[in-house]
Structure 1
């Protein structure tokens, strides 16, 4: 090939890549590169080839809330002691404002806002919201005011309640003040957000809203950092030209709402991360019958072959 290649296969992505960054830091001299090509992304559809320019990061936590040392009678004690299930419900209710923006102080500090050009490029995609809702198994869209559905899932940070519980859950009634309740929250992060700062902000926010008489514990899992490559980066333009040559049509742009460890390579190696993937939604990601379209796979191979030469000819020359 026209450029030197190093191959790195990462096998922990589905569990948050907890050891990946340490490995990259330890082996940084061996992994030094001018650019990183990641294949763990897809295209809009078989008829609409696209290049992904970024992925969101993620941070998740579990919040345990403890009140009385055991479930107590709601007739004898209800209304006179704090109820951890009520506190859990209030935390969830306070997580978003009326515009569906996250209320944690500092949550939006430093984020890289969408440019007008990026919004125009998203709008060029043949997006059918009704079809998207059918795929989502949902009846309506909802999200941060002032943004389209694609902007919300690709370029805006989120806070989601993954689970909530506490107290009696069996059949019939049981009139108690429960001794405990719990929440599971996850936060999708965009470029400019630091998972460590988000964790600190969430801890402070929860502590400020938990009343006296309720003890709480917060446990965060391994976080994944967001990743973004500017549209005008010369290496990204090489990917676009190579894919356009292979597919013989205009290449559009997307981002990924999900997360992966690519940002660790960007941060540690100081190299731009470029995404070159040919999978399409009909491939059934994570499903028992997940597949790949062989003609698209070959187009991806062709794109890659063109890419090495384009990087050598255009990026090095610049």
Structure 2
């Protein structure tokens, strides 16, 4: 099992499932330039939100790009054999592992399950039987259109709430789980994200927080956004 999981990435940190990157929408030079301007202290991030000592990921991409804009595979856990107190010199009869994949725009969860099953079948040693369970579901990824008129309205709304020129509002990609892709597909509407959190808010941690001044500014930006959207031509909303 350890050898199998080690093969999940190559020496460049890329996921080795055949076809995994076929539908990945590449980052444009413009997106990469915008993300490069986002203030980011990697050492502070490691010591704080990441709770780690070193970065790792796909070669050729920054830490921000790896964590928010490129697809990933994670080994959540592995177990097998006897793990209780004392000595038991046994050879485990079976081993288990749980893995997840974070996808990016144009990838689909329904494609990854078959890719994983085919990859496992091709990589298990002779004499080993493998079962791959891929529960139905998963969340389809999506991303906002930087050239959408609605995006311009969002930047103006944020600028008004935070007392800064709209052109100085920076953008980044962020991983998460939600129904946005389904809503975009069903409604044909532009996708906008308006967040008021900080990297130090420790989202989903036991000591998660939200700073009230940020929450108030976010609410103000949302109010400005409705006005900005109302000013757009009807066919661009």
| TM-score, normalisation: structure 2 | 0.90
8 Å contact 1:195–1:223 — kept in the other structure?
yes
- Aligned-partner Cα distance in 2 for 1:179–1:173: 17
| Match status 1:279 vs 2:227 | no
| Match status 1:169 vs 2:77 | no
Aligned residues: 231
**Partner-residue secondary structure (3-state), 1:263:** helix
1:214–1:288 CA distance, 2 compared to 1 (3 A):
closer
Gaps of 5+ in 1: 1-87
Aligned to 2:161: 246
Aligned to 1:95: 8
Moved over 6 A (4+): none
**Partner-residue secondary structure (3-state), 1:301:** helix
5 Å-filtered alignment, 1:187-202, equals 187-202=101-116
Q: Which moved more, 1:138-147 or 1:218-227?
A: 218-227
Aligned to 1:228: 143
| TM-score, normalisation: structure 1 | 0.68
| Match status 1:267 vs 2:185 | yes
For the pair shown, the structure with the greater C-alpha radius of gyration is: 1
What is the root-mean-square deviation in Å for CA atoms of aligned residues? 1.8
8 Å contact 1:235–1:315 — kept in the other structure?
no
Aligned to 1:150: 64
5 Å-filtered alignment, 1:103-122, equals 103-122=16-35
Gaps of 5+ in 2: none
8 Å contact 1:161–1:186 — kept in the other structure?
yes
Aligned to 1:304: 222
| Match status 1:217 vs 2:144 | no
| Match status 1:185 vs 2:104 | no
Q: String of CA shifts for 1:83-108, please: whole Å, max 9, x gaps.
A: xxxxx112111111110111110010
